[in-house]
Structure 1
Amino acid sequence: MKRILLILTASILLLSSLTSFAKNQQLPVEAFASIPDVSHVTMSPNGTKIASLVRSEAKGMEGTLVNILDIDTRESSYPIQTDNEKFVILSMSWANDDLLLIKAKFPAVRFGTPTTETRIIKYSLSKKSTSNLLSRFGLKKFKWMPQIQSNIIDYLPDDDKYLLLGTNGIGNKTQFESVIKVNLNNGNIRFEQPAEANVTDWITDRQNRIRIGIYRKETKYRIYEQEDAHKDRRILWEFEAFEEDQVWPMGFAQDKNILYVQAYHEGFEAIFKVDLRDPELAKELIFSKEFNDVEGSLIYSKLKQKVIGIDDGDESEYTFWDKEYIGLVNGLNKALPEYRNYITQFSDNERRYIVYSTNSKEAGTYLFGDRDAGKLFPIAYRYKKLTPDLLANTQTLSYKARDGLEIQAFLTTPLDKEAKQLPTIIFPHGGPISYDSNSFDYWTQFLANRGYAVLRMNFRGSAGYGYDFMKAGLQNWGLDMQNDVEDGTRWLIDEGIADPNKVCIVGASYGGYAALMGVATTKDLYQCAVSFAGVTDIEYLVKSSRRYSNFDIVKKQIGDDYDALYERSPVSKAKDINVPVLLIHGDKDRVVRVQHSEDMFDELEDLNKPVEYIELENGDHYLSNNEHRIKTFVAIEAFLQKHL
């Protein structure tokens, strides 16, 4: 795809030709480390407006702006700005053609416990005004201010002046989730579904009745069904967390009796539908993938009044199983053959749509399609300075772990360099129930641009490879999961790709844990380690979850033998680390507390080990702030240059 057009920017609408740089050019750190130029592109129901998040460098407006573009006039407005410290915008959606809903998070502390709070900001195009979704009058009905105020249950398409919101702090069982009906004009609320003990979420049918309740107590789940709010409920399924008999409701067909669910099929997650009138609740297979899990949420066509596929991925890419829509995607793939092309949204009449096009060397292009006009053209680039000719190739491969298990991995090598005796970065992913793929990754491309080969692997416990593979990672931190990372490193050296004297292990979150454990448990394998927001004390990680509702799930996933967990923690093995270490952590991290890196630094410093520590003021777990991201990448670049 030749990059020729850009119309969504933080400063001006423009058409621009992007200059191609010479191959092997070392791009500025900012080209990779800055937050995306454009993200979260979403179209109004009538297909005339496009909202997006755009990065701004304008003085006094640094951070992220909400941009609303009129497709026909090409005029933009920028109603909301954030520096990504006070709050971070998580997503945007249209309640109707006039009202844009903006979901945001911010760090807080409740009764001494660090929390993440969420809110919804609404912006009216006609009034050119912003306000909170819930009014002060509406909030007076709560017994306490709810922490999570962003769980939209249903947009009520037949009455776009209201929506259903799931939240706690109201009614008799205030600690559990109720459903309220919110007036989008004035923010007032009406009580719809009373909270039930241990019910954590509610799902409506296509007639907007509250039908499904998801119950969890400790590690046991139940799926309840009812005819409507206040009606009697029955149990559809019961199961334990992380077990193969789990059945997760996804949503309804137009028929109120047909429920779509996600469950395992021959060891892999797949999509089924169930007729709730059937006493046996037999599951009819609708969609599956060979040797991979199917994940995502349902795509429902209002026009066709049926479920047509699922959306998944960072930009909610659509995967269709309906033939008509598969044909549309096939046409896109024919027009753009070297890219993975995903429809991410339709207008209500499905004549206009948004496409997200990407591959391992394409940082992401958003395109606007008009079926009536027969047009498809780019509207924005996720990273406008990262053109495909400047990025490195990534290949998918696999290697055998020491017990014979096959591990899928992704190798990126510097542009126009032979994959032989290269300085190398081993880069295990976070999660750990997550996964890497052969797609664009800004960390990887930055490191490759600096001359390093990068190996990412989906060690056991990673998501997407079926039940047995996921289950193999439970309570396995520092054991076989860690061996899989080490075995990938040794395989790359044995293949002659990695220079054995120039290998560093780098990771974030769980990947940071794996990086520190790598240098603590192996000798002469790695020359250095970098941990961003890494877990350093698993015992503390589990114990610090005690005041949260998921404590029992955490124990089942990670373990509760605290002595053993401490022994499998990098902080307990600081004496065994004899290579330079770089630690970076945000002090407002609500996923992995900053104490992990602080304690690790203290242990290493007390032992006179070579360690550097950078603490990001007001930084979160995701490098949401542009300054923090650039500071992190500058530090990593200098550290690697020094030690590799």
Structure 2
Amino acid sequence: MAAIVVAHAASFGDTGGPQEGCFLMKFYSFTGLSLGLVVIALPAAAQDALSAAEAAKIFGARENILDASISPDGTKVAFVIPGPGQSTVVQMLDLVKKTNMPVNSADGNPMSLQWCNWASNARLVCQLYGVSGVNYQTMMGYSRLLAMNADGSSAMPLASQNRRDSYAQISDGYVLDWGNGSSNKILIARNYVPGKGHGLSGGTQQLEGLGVDLLDTETAKVERVESPDSAAGLYLTDGLGKVRIMSTDEGVRKLGESRGIITYRYRPTGSSEWKAFGTYSRITEVGAIPVGVDGEKDVAYVLNKLDGRRALYRVSLDGKMKTELVFAHPQVDVSGVARTGRQGRIVGARYTTDIGQISYFDPAYEEMMDYLHTTLKSTPLIRIVDSNGDGTKHIVYASSDTDAGRYLLFDQATKKMQPLGRSRPDLTGLSLGTMKAVSYKAADGTLVPGYLTTPPGMEGKKVPAIVMPHGGPASRDTWNFDWMVQFFVSRGYAVLQPNFRGSSGYGDNWFKDNGFKSWKIAISDVNDAGRWLVSQGIADPEKLAIVGWSYGGYAALQANVLDPNLYKAVVAIAPVTDFGALKDDARQFTSSRVVQAYIGEGPHISEGSPARNAAAFKAPVLMFHGDKDINVDIDQARLMDRQLKGAGKSSELIVYPKIDHQLRDSTVREDMLAKSDAFLTKALKR
């Protein structure tokens, strides 16, 4: 835990300089956090027209608030906020004392804070994340849990790290139940490694696999709840402290490799015996996936297919396993359940049309959300981030396509809202591009949905334009604020984000055989998005580019294999470039067989890989990649760069040392945006 700096609030006083062991906190921008602090807007001149450098800095900055949680008694709010580089800080807002100060931090080398939540009014639990290893074959993302007092003192890891292999362990556990906040104890699923002690005592033991412990976050003492199982992958509790469902992968147990079949078991009320619940295939997607348990109703909620789309069902846990349909949508998949409060009470079914929505089956909760939507009309994207112990105070996040979002403290009893801070305060006063839901015809006549964002005042004019396919491919874009889209819009581009076939959320017929096996359909849809921009008079055909990240980076490259004349410039961030290499990269993991089946075999491995078709390119290519990327091996970008240059094409690869797939560093994102803008300006002859 060397990355964590334990410092009392007093260490950050006006001493004239930094204290030993902590950052110079005055370098941080806390202007987005409220309680008597003023959000500083840009100068009027900057609001009218940002320079390229100003735009890259403002839009490339990480959100001012990365996470927020409220104490059980509702008197304190803990924020995770960004510091310089990849560093992160725990910022504590005391609503009673009217103080707002940093209490702890992680330097990002190698670990950064992801979130913090409250075990009690006095004790916080935070998750840190980092990447170990020196190359893709040895690199692995891992997370660690840390407990500390509300003032940042008495920080300690919740699992010992006395073995050299502890960093190779992906996760030391995850929280199942937070309890009611009256004690410092939480229910946690944790990984046991033979010979590795747990808690502060260290020591050795021979247990292996995922088990469940009741853990005291102040003393690190544990009580065994479920013995570790080497094949276990998931435990679900009922919100009342009882483990009711678990999953195992018997392929891992017997063969050391997943066969993609997940077996679920459940415990009937008052029983210690595990009974069969069902199976799910990660390869064929056949079967039910448990997503939550309601202990009071004694039921489990599961996702299962109905007419080719995922629907939400309720299954009784009394031994009879009576199953009933709860909610299904005629156009899109149900993605999961909506929860509220410390116990994670289930209140609705989640699904996404153009925006994320919830079908409620809790009338009181629905009434509260209706009130928030009525009150916050200008920011219709509203979600409850966290709630206090009795469910009367809520941290609310509200945003829109042109509002990056703000955090509010909502008192349900008094209906009062207190501002806590803006996600991106430096955007205050800027005129941003409005995002509109559109659809266009693909070559085979299929209507493809997408989102078009244009520079203010430039609607209906031929402007430089960008097609921006999403990552995944099992993902989709939605109507929301997008920092990269808005950066390019501020630079005068229209941006179209297509939800091409192969995108998830629209059911089996739209997903096809995924964006790898069905790459030609997916990429054809992407290219038809560019042609539509031109045909509608939105885009200047000589100033049309394509920009993508991850699978979107792959799509940006492969689009030029399918039609080398359509785009005049290509920007690909952390792209997949060779399907065969992608399959090889997976061979070191227990999920290798699942990945092999997902990508498949056949001519598409070669035909669908841009690195194997570099000779087709005409447009110049700019790529970015972090060398700590565990999602996509940086060698994919290096291979593409070599192949393009070997074919006599224009290519540049910019590598960011010690940076992961998400480029979680404001300076790096600023550099990526600035270089992309300069590249496009030159390539499109703007």
Letter in 1 for 2:681: Q
Match of 1:187 in 2: 220
| 1:580 Cα offset (Å) | 0.7
Partner amino acid, structure 1, of 2:624: I
Matched with 1:155 is 178
Aligned counterpart in structure 2 of residue 463 of structure 1, from 489, 492, 504: 504
**Shift of residue 285 of structure 1?**
2.6
**Which moved further from structure 2: 209-218 or 468-477?**
468-477
1:526 matched residue in structure 2: 567
Q: CA deviation at 1:390?
A: 1.5
> Residues 544 and 71 (structure 1 numbering): CA distance in 2 closer, same or farther, change over 3 Å?
same
Deviation at 1:86, TM superposition (A): 2.0
| Partner-residue secondary structure (3-state), 2:172 | coil
Partner Cα separation in structure 2 for residue 82 and residue 316 of structure 1: 32
Letter in 2 for 1:357: A
In 1, distance between residues paired with 2:643 and 2:164?
49
Q: Map 1:438-477 onto structure 2 (within 5 A).
A: 438-473=479-514, 475-476=516-517
- The answer to whether structure 1 residue 309 and structure 2 residue 348 are counterparts is yes
Measured after TM superposition, the shift of residue 638 of structure 1 is: 0.8
Change (3 A) 1:131 1:297: farther
Deviation at 1:318, TM superposition (A): 7.6
Query: Residue 635 and residue 150 in structure 1: after superposition, are their counterparts in 2 closer, same or farther (change >3 A)?
Result: farther
Letter in 2 for 1:169: V
Within 5 A, what are the aligned runs for 1:224-623?
Answer: 224-227=265-268, 231-241=272-282, 243=284, 245-255=286-296, 257-277=298-318, 279=320, 281-301=321-341, 307-309=346-348, 320-340=360-380, 341-387=382-428, 389-473=430-514, 475-476=516-517, 478-561=519-602, 564-623=604-663
Shift of 1:142: 10
Q: For 1:62 and 1:577, locate their aligned partners in 2 and report how far apart those are by CA, in whole Å.
A: 35
The range that moved more, 579-588 or 379-388, is 379-388
Q: What's the % identity of the aligned pairs?
A: 27
Of 360-369 and 175-184, more deviation after overlay is shown by 175-184
Question: In 1, Cα distance between the equivalents of 2:314 and 2:152?
Answer: 43
Tell me, what secondary structure is at the counterpart of 1:47? coil
Are the counterparts in 1 of residues 244 and 293 from structure 2 also a CA contact under 8 Å?
A: no
Partners of 2:360 and 2:115 lie apart in 1 by 23
Q: Per-residue displacement from partner, 1:200-249 (whole Å, max 9, x unpaired)?
A: 11222334232212123312222112359994432211232254542111
Measured in 2, the distance between the counterparts of 1:265 and 1:487 equals 30
Say which SS state the counterpart of residue 241 (structure 2) adopts.
coil
- Cα deviation, residue 170, structure 1: 4.5
Match of 1:211 among 232, 235, 244: 244
Return the offset for 1:569: 0.8
Contact 1:173–1:196 (CA under 8 A) maintained in structure 2: no
Match of 2:10 in 1: none
Name which of structure 1's ranges 290-299 and 423-432 shifts more when overlaid on structure 2: 290-299
Residue of 64, 73, 76 corresponding to 1:49: 76
- 8 Å contact 1:161–1:183 — kept in the other structure? yes
- Per the normalisation by structure 2, the TM-score is 0.85
What secondary structure, in the 3-state scheme, does the structure 2 residue paired with 1:291 have?
coil
Which letter maps to 1:611? Answer: S
CA offsets 1:615-637 (integer angstroms, 9 cap, x no match):
00101000111221111111111
* Inter-CA distance 427–383: structure 2 relative to 1 (3 Å threshold): same
Name the CA distance, whole Å, in 2 between partners of 1:589 and 1:531. 14
Match of 1:119 among 144, 147, 150: 144
State the alpha-carbon separation in 2 of the partners of residues 348 and 11 from structure 1: 23
5+ residue gaps in structure 1?
1-5
Verify the 8 A CA contact 1:205 1:256 in the aligned structure 2.
no
The amino acid that maps onto 1:618 is K
Return the offset for 1:286: 2.6
Tell me which moved more, 317-326 or 633-642. 317-326
Q: Partners in 2 of 1:632 and 1:41 — Cα distance?
A: 28
Match of 1:102 among 126, 132, 135: 126
2:588 alignment partner, SS class: coil
Q: Deviations over 1:454-508 (max 9, x none)?
A: 0101111212212332244264253111111011111221111111111111101
Amino acid corresponding to residue 661 of structure 2 in structure 1: H
- Structure 1 window deviating more from structure 2 (461-470 vs 170-179): it is 170-179
Deviation, 1:24, is 5.1
Cα deviations across residues 45-103 of structure 1 (Å, max 9, x unaligned)?
Answer: 2111111122345xxx9843211111122212312223434223222222221122211
Q: Which residue of 2 aligns with 1:3?
A: none
What is the distance in 1 between the residues matched to 2:144 and 2:215?
Answer: 14
The verdict on how the C-alpha distance between 1:56 and 1:221 changes in structure 2, with shifts beyond 3 A counting, is closer
Q: Please list every run of 5 or more consecutive structure 2 residues that lacks an aligned counterpart in the other structure.
A: 1-28, 196-204, 252-258
Provide the TM-score with structure 1 as the length reference: 0.90
Distance 2:160 2:230 in 1: 27
> How far apart in 2 are the matches of 1:362 and 1:84?
28
**Structure 2 vs 1, CA of residues 533 and 451 (structure 1 numbering), >3 Å: closer, same or farther?**
same
2: CA distance between counterparts of 1:446 and 1:559? 37
Cα distance in 2 between the residues matched to 1:144 and 1:357 = 37
Letter in 2 for 1:165: A
Equivalent residues of 1:206, 1:256 under 8 A apart: no
Letter in 2 for 1:69: L
Which of the residues 58, 81, 98 maps onto 1:74?
98
Q: CA offset at residue 432 of structure 1?
A: 0.8
Matched, 1:88 2:121: no
Which whole-Å deviations, capped at 9, do the CAs of 1:535-564 have from their partners, x for residues lacking one?
111111111111112212212222144x64
Superposed CA offset, 1:435-465 (max 9, x none): 1011000000000000000010111121221
Q: Deviations over 1:123-176 (max 9, x none)?
A: 21267232212246xx68999973311422233447542432232424999664
What is the SS of the residue equivalent to 1:483? helix
Distance 1:230 1:334 in 2: 46
2:534 match: secondary structure: helix
Question: Could you say if the C-alpha distance between residues 637 and 85 of structure 1 is closer, same or farther in structure 2, counting changes exceeding 3 Å?
Answer: farther
Secondary structure of 1:544's match? helix
Counterpart-to-counterpart distance in 1, 2:35 and 2:339: 34
- SS of alignment partner, residue 31 of structure 1: helix
- Given that 2:32 and 2:424 are in contact with CA atoms closer than 8 Å, whether structure 1 keeps it comes out as no
For the residues of structure 2 that align with 1:623 and 1:454, how far apart are their CA atoms?
Answer: 21
Which amino acid in the other structure matches residue 99 of structure 1? R
CA contact (8 A) 2:76 2:92 kept: yes
Letter in 1 for 2:239: R
Q: 1:141 to 1:572 in 2, by over 3 A?
A: closer
Measured at CA, do residues 62 and 227 of structure 1 come closer, stay the same or move farther in structure 2, by a change above 3 Å?
closer
Answer with 13-22 or 573-582: which moved more. 13-22
Task: Rate the CA distance shift 1:509–1:7 in 2: closer, same or farther, 3 A.
Answer: closer
Name the amino acid aligned to 1:31: I
Separation (CA, whole Å) in 2 of partners of 1:144 and 1:85: 13
More displaced stretch, 435-444 vs 546-555: 546-555
In structure 2, the CA distance between the partners of 1:283 and 1:51, relative to structure 1 (3 Å rule), is same
Query: Structure 2: how far apart are the matches of 1:312 and 1:427?
Result: 23
Distance 1:532 1:17, change over 3 A: closer
Separation of aligned partners in 2, 1:90 and 1:318:
26
User: Aligned residue pairs: how many?
Assistant: 630
Amino acid of the structure 1 residue aligned with 2:473? P
**Alpha-carbon distance in structure 1 between the residues aligned to 2:280 and 2:212:** 25
Q: 1:450 to 1:154 in 2, by over 3 A?
A: same
- Give the alignment's Cα RMSD to 1 decimal: 3.1
